[in-house]
Structure 1
Amino acid sequence: PGVHHPGLAADGQGAEVVAALGSAATRIVSVTVTEKGYTFGADGRLDLDSPAVRADLSGGTPRTALGLIVRGLQHRARTDGSPVTVLSCDNLMDNGHRLRTLIDEFVDALPAAERPELQAYVATSLTTPNTMVDRIAPATTDEHRDLVARAVGVRDSVPVPAEPYRLWVMQDDFRAGRPAWEHAGALFTDDVAPYELMKLRLLNGAHSLLAYLGLLRGHRCIDEAVTDELLGGAVEFAMREEILPTVPEPEGMPGKTYVTELLDRFANPALGHRTAQVGSDGSLKIPVRWAGVLAESLAAGRVPRVLALGLAAYIRVITADDAYDVRALGTAHDGARQRLTELAARASGPAGTARLLLSEGGLLPPDVAQHPELGYTVGEFAHTLAVHGVEAALRSALT
């Protein structure tokens, strides 16, 4: 109490953020901005058509996460040249390597005069370890701020609510040293991928299913959705029978046990994790969370029916104005909504709309998106959702 630790906001304090990132006293820059914050396009590369990215490349105070990071690195390169680690803690497969690729692409897109010094610094003085963070953290609300103020007597404008469960797995590749996080339970490993894949496909993949189907069932929060007997049963079936067969088990983490733990974690009513929040930016999340499961299942001759229903539910949530009560449940925001809605206008009927958006909407890799059996199944579920409702669709998915 009495000690003030100021926070900095990129919106209005970008120059101060760059200076803090570029300070020799800063040894680790951790990044948690979700998929949307990395400003990559449908091909996974830096979106050079984005006005925000173009503005950051042209100079001035940066606004994007990558712009802030790279300008911070540039500040270091021009001053003491001290090494640093940028640590992605986001739900991207191979997140450290992907972040490094995006940083390299941003640097390569800078004006020619700015490149050589920065390219040399990045090549010799930067590491971006892969990580996996497994902890559900819903959006901060005024209720959380008031709770912290009452509990500890300090007004924190950005407290982070989180569940009791926590697992943090990292590559031990820190160029400027690190705290002894292992004493607090962090796990260091040479291969983060199995942990990452299990969490991404089971936790995040099931979260998205609960969000879209939960919205259509009228559930405001994830705990309501997973304790809905029909919906929760369908998602559990998807986790155990559709997703788990595509997930290699990390050492010490049996998949069946992890699924059971997840169902209990989802059902925690204290989290208040809104379905609309989890369902936002599905056009970016679905390729990361569901595409691999769908691809591997289709290659093995299986159409995952609950995941197919999830695709139909997402399309209905994004394109049908009357899909659910937005006033009561909130809006699932998505940067692709306008594009997908315009594409949907070219189709006829719910099934035709779903098949068109699946094949041409950029939601999945072409070989998955254009798979005829998947397209047929998603279309049938879209028709059932529109004509008979979500209960009938869930029952059909489980037959």
Structure 2
Amino acid sequence: MAPLPRLGPSTVPAGAALNARPPAETGIVHLGLGNFHRAHQAVHTAAALAHTDGPWGILGVADRSTGVARALREQEMRYAVVEISPERTRITVPAVHTGALVAAERPDAVLDALAAPDTAIITLTVTEHGYTFSPRTHGLDLDAPAVRADLRGDAPPRTTIGRIVRGLQRRRRAHARPVTVLSCDNLVGNGAQTRRLVREFAEALPAAERDDLVPYLESAVTFPGSMVDRIVPATTDVYRDAVAAGLGVRDAVPVPAEPFSMWVMEDRFCAGRPRWEHSGALFTDDVEPYELLKLRLLNGTHSLIAYLGALDGRATIPESVARPFVADAARAVLYGDYLPSLTVPAGIDPDAYVAQLFERWANTALGHRTQQVGSDGSVKLRQRVPEPALLHLRAGRMPHHLALTVAAYLCCVTPPPGFSPGPHATAMVDPARERLAALARRAPAASGASRVAAVLDSGLLGTGLTEFPAFAARIAEFVDVIVRHGPGAAAAEAGRAAESEPKSEANSDPKSDPKSEPLHAS
């Protein structure tokens, strides 16, 4: 049997291309050439270009990993998106990338691209960890060695913020047109946060550089906020085989994704943008309600499912949420702890939204892994847990399921002595794993509460929760139950305790709006 041809412009089957005419010009430089970008922003851009042509090709930039960039170049910037649900598999090929670079290999080329006159938008999907901010201040971590090196400027920048600022410096010197910097990461207030970090980096530069750059940032760069939502697992041979069977071609870097996709943005693009509204993107003056809805209800609950599932020996999110105690805990944290902490955007029915979340988590065909969802929890949880927890604690209520979330996380990444969290938890990657383990070792061995208090005092969840020692004590109690009796017993204890708490009402009741409806896939 003859080998299958490689995916490329001449081998894309009829009907699979999302946009028939690839863009000839690069208008967007994207930092973070991972699966999420290729299944989300790139797909929305391809759909926009299918409706209205424009100079909106995307130059993708990976940080250090060479695999995706090399494969894209070999495939002439083509790859497949495999949308999977239990009902069907749909395979499409977006054609929006005009190049693929690796910053560690060609740092000057990346800075030149950021400064290029045709570049109108700089976008980012570098994960929460990629912004190098301090867990205590949420500002730029000026003590981080990579940040200090980037500020010295004696070598090519290694951090995302350093690259952006050095690129903007070149842009100012070249008198290039204004540019928009658009974060597509799960940060609270991601536009304002990115602007703050960029400005803090600029203000830490020597005076000669700072005095020219800071006014430029104010006059020629915009930082709109955004909310992105799509579940995108890691690529495996399963998806390569699906592309081979479905399209009859070899694709080294297909991207699996759920059918659902959502993108909400502020329309503050100072040098133009693709017609993303024709891809299903929503533009609004107030992104925050959508952002908090997603960060807390989807992402926060997703983390709890991943940690409980991994501790229960479950490899995937669908396997985890199929366990009744995990589903019950997820529903309890959604309705009891997260929903009362936010204002639901007008037109969205929270019950329909929650039902849709459970459908997405139960997508057995996608098989999102607990290991992947649970990784980087030290960065993710501080975006999701502290504010809702503080709202309840200040009102005299104990948010038991938020405490359970933190306890399950700690059992996964810094397990107590003698406790094995299992292979899926052990495989979770976390930048704070060693630091948290060191803190736990220094705490009194006989006191689980002391170990948890030491972790919270380290700034894992910011500083506000340290005012409530009862919250740390509750986390420690759940850690003890998990270690002694398992995650199911801890979830049952959280459920019983939550039933005895005074009830709180959500900040709004959109069900009273006759136009309320669930979110829909684009």
The TM tier, using the shorter chain, reads over 0.9
- Higher mean Cα deviation, 279-288 or 107-116? 107-116
Q: Confirm or deny that 1:99 pairs with 2:171.
A: no
C-alpha displacement of 1:157: 5.5
How far apart, in 2, do the equivalents of 1:158 and 1:107 lie? 37
Residue 204 of structure 1 aligns to which amino acid in structure 2? Answer: N
The structure-2 alpha-carbon separation of the partners of 1:365 and 1:65, relative to structure 1 and needing over 3 Å to count, comes to closer
374-383 or 31-40, which deviates more: 374-383
CA offsets, 1:48-100, max 9 Å, x none?
11111112222221121111111211121111321110100111111101100
1:69 is the counterpart of 2:141? no
Counterpart Cα distance in 2 of 1:148 and 1:68: 35
SS of corresponding position for 2:444: coil
Matches within 5 A, 1:1-399: 1-2=9-10, 4-5=76-77, 6-42=99-135, 43-59=137-153, 60-145=155-240, 147-148=242-243, 151=246, 158-320=253-415, 322-326=419-423, 331-345=427-441, 346-349=443-446, 351-399=448-496
SS state at 1:30 partner: strand
The structure, 1 or 2, with the larger RCO (C-alpha pairs under 8 Å, 6+ apart) is 2
Maintained 8 Å contact 1:347/1:356: no
Gaps of 5+ in 2: 1-8, 11-74, 78-98, 497-522
1:172, distance to aligned residue in structure 2 (A): 0.6
* Counterpart Cα distance in 2 of 1:52 and 1:152: 43
Give the Cα separation in 2 of the matches to 1:331 and 1:230. 23
CA 1:155 to 1:111, structure 2 compared with 1: closer, same or farther past 3 Å? farther
- TM-superposed CA distance for 1:30, in Å, is 1.1
Distance 2:493 2:125 in 1: 38
Q: 1:31 to 1:374 in 2, by over 3 A?
A: same
Deviates more, 1:161-170 or 1:172-181: 161-170
Aligned-partner Cα distance in 1 for 2:248–2:178: 37
Cα RMSD of the aligned pairs, angstroms, is 2.0
Residue 32 of structure 1 deviates from its aligned partner by 0.7
Distance (Å, rounded) in 1 between the aligned partners of 2:269 and 2:317: 36
Higher helix share: 1
3-state SS of 2:304 partner = helix
| Amino acid aligned to 2:269 | F
Return the alpha-carbon distance in structure 1 between the equivalents of residues 208 and 274 of structure 2: 37
AA aligned opposite 1:368: L
Deviations 1:237-270 (A, max 9, x none): 1112221111211011122211111111111123
CA deviations over 1:210-242 (Å, ceiling 9, x no partner): 121111111111111111111111111111222
Contact 1:223 1:272 survives alignment (8 Å): yes
2:140 and 2:200 in contact (8 A); partners too: yes
Equivalent residues of 2:128, 2:380 under 8 A apart: yes
Report the CA distance between 1:314 and its aligned residue.
1.2
CA distance in 2 between counterparts of 1:61 and 1:141 reads: 33
Corresponding residue SS for 2:488: helix
TM-score w.r.t. length of structure 1: 0.94
Task: Find the structure with the greater CA-based Rg.
Answer: 2
Give secondary structure in 1 for the equivalent of 2:228: strand
Distance verdict in 2 for CA 1:369–1:266, change over 3 Å: farther
Spell out, residue by residue over 1:170-195, the C-alpha distance to the aligned partner (whole angstroms, 9 max, x if none).
Answer: 10100101111111111111111111
TM-score with structure 2 setting the length: 0.72
Identical residues among aligned pairs (%): 48
Q: Give unpaired runs (5+ residues) of structure 1.
A: none
How far off its partner does 1:154 sit? 6.8
Specify the alignment match of 2:37 in structure 1.
none
Structure 2 Cα separation of the partners of residues 370 and 258 of structure 1: 33
**3-state SS of 1:87 partner:** strand
**Counterpart Cα distance in 2 of 1:179 and 1:156:** 27
Residue 175 of structure 1 aligns to a residue in which SS?
coil
* Cα distance in 2, alignment partners of residues 360 and 337 from structure 1: 15
Q: Deviations over 1:270-322 (max 9, x none)?
A: 33222122111211111111111101111222112122111111111122274
- Greater strand percent: which structure? 2
Structure 1 runs, 4 residues or longer, greater than 4 Å off: 145-159
The 1:271/1:369 distance shift into structure 2, 3 A limit, reads farther
The whole-number CA distance in structure 2 between the counterparts of 1:55 and 1:213 is 39
CA contact (8 A) 1:41 1:47 kept: yes
Q: CA offset at residue 153 of structure 1?
A: 6.5
Residues of 2 paired with 1:304 and 1:271: CA distance?
31
8 Å contact kept, 2:439–2:451: no
Deviation, 1:144, is 3.8
Count the aligned residue pairs: 398
For 2:109 and 2:246, locate their aligned partners in 1 and report how far apart those are by CA, in whole Å. 31
Q: Distance in 2 between matches of 1:34 and 1:249?
A: 25
